[in-house]
Amino acid sequence: MITNIKRRLFYRRIDQIDKRLLFVLIFCLECFIFWLDYITTPALPPFTTFYLAPVIFAAFFLDKKPAYLMALAAAVEGSIVYQRLLTNFDLLLTGFDMLSKSVIFLTVTFLILQLRKLLDYLEEQASVDYLTKASTRRCFYEMSNTELARSFRYKHPVTLVFMDLDNFKQVNDTQGHEKGDQLLAQAALTIKSGLREGDLLARFGGDEFAIWLHHTDQEQAKIIIERIRENLLNAIAPFNTKVTFSMGAVTYLADKPASIDELVAVADRAMYSVKETTKNAIRFVAA
């Protein structure tokens, strides 16, 4: 799982680079390969296979048009070097060489673009809950593990919130599962609208959600969570139900090592202590 996290973080870091800058960097790599190919030919065999590196990078990290443009540029550069191998200029041979290289590089580009599309789709399926568009439990654990380690390293607090919908079963029983699904989707949308950049909402299953609040101590968490709960009650009022929200919030002070499983267990216990007593309230604890 750690390898998957590192790979996804690597992809995200590259995807965050400005596409124009990334295009220039990849094009410079292609030009460097062309230069090496040009100065070593005919002393060394052609560098045709090396052109695949910038072609693949472009297809994986850039959009369609610049990726195909990079593939065509590689074909032209390779054909220029090929022409040096000929004793006399031969338009037919040079044209055939350029055509063959274009077919190869464009085909590779197409396949890599389809691969990236498939990977993005699988990533979304694995990390986004279909109904609520919140993150999945698996995604939550991967991201929060990384954030927890960063929190301890830099000594900034974080808060983990567990939330359960009270009386939600009555909605499914009396109004149907479709109405229940609509209520869950509305609840998730309302929570996300109250979060900041860097915060994370995940659906743990059924009517249970987890919220990760980065750089948030207990006092800040109280303000954010109270506002979210109030917004939730207002958002579901049109559903005409008795649904309320029980929450447990644990603030990690980053003063000692901790695991995400420990924080989840503490927040879960805090939530159920509310659910088994008053309901529709928040319990705050520190860890």
**183 within domain boundaries:** yes
* Peptide bond before residue 54 is cis, with ω within 30 degrees of 0: no
Q: Which of 231, 220, 195 is nearest to 210 (CA)?
A: 195
113 is in which domain, residue-wise?
A: 2-127
- Are 27 and 57 within one domain? yes
Which CATH number belongs to the domain containing residue 249 in this structure? 3.30.70.270
Helix ranges restricted to H, 62-90: 64-85
Each residue's pLDDT tens digit in the chain (287 positions)?
444 555 666 666 777 778 889 999 999 999 999 998 888 866 566 678 899 999 999 999 999 999 999 999 999 998 888 887 776 777 788 888 889 999 999 999 999 999 999 988 887 777 899 999 999 998 899 889 889 999 999 999 999 999 999 999 999 999 999 999 999 999 999 999 999 988 999 999 899 999 999 999 999 999 999 999 999 999 999 999 999 999 999 999 998 999 999 999 999 999 999 999 999 999 999 98
- Are 95 and 196 within one domain? no
- Are 121 and 216 within one domain? no
**76 within domain boundaries:** yes
Told to judge if 261 belongs to the known catalytic residues of this protein, a careful annotator would answer no
- The residues facing 250 across adjacent strands are 160, 285
- Are 77 and 100 within one domain? yes
Taking each helix axis as running N to C, give the angle between helix 137-154 and helix 91-127, from 0 to 180 degrees, rounded to the nearest 10. Answer: 90
**132 within domain boundaries:** no
- Are 96 and 6 within one domain? yes
Last residue of a domain, one of 100, 127, 154: 127
Last residue of a domain, one of 127, 149, 183: 127
**239 within domain boundaries:** yes
pLDDT at 97: 85
pLDDT at 186: 97
Last residue of a domain, one of 102, 127, 152: 127
- Are 121 and 145 within one domain? no
Kindly tell me the burial class for residue 211, based on how many C-beta atoms sit within 10 Å of its own C-beta (0-12, 13-18, 19 or more): buried
User: What is the pTM (predicted TM-score) of this model?
Assistant: 0.70
Helix ranges restricted to H, 177-280: 177-193, 218-235, 260-275
CB-based contacts of 17: which residues, under 8 Å, 6+ apart? none
- Are 119 and 157 within one domain? no
pLDDT at 27: 94
pLDDT at 2: 42
Cβ distance 34 to 41 under 8 Å? no
- Single out the catalytic residue among 164, 207, 217, 261: 207
- Are 146 and 187 within one domain? yes
- Are 152 and 236 within one domain? yes
- Are 94 and 142 within one domain? no
**174 within domain boundaries:** yes
**194 within domain boundaries:** yes
**22 within domain boundaries:** yes
**180 within domain boundaries:** yes
pLDDT at 1: 44
**Pairwise CA distance, residues 98 & 75, whole Å:** 6
- Are 200 and 66 within one domain? no
- Are 41 and 102 within one domain? yes
Cβ distance 280 to 245 under 8 Å? yes
> For the chain, what is the domain count?
2
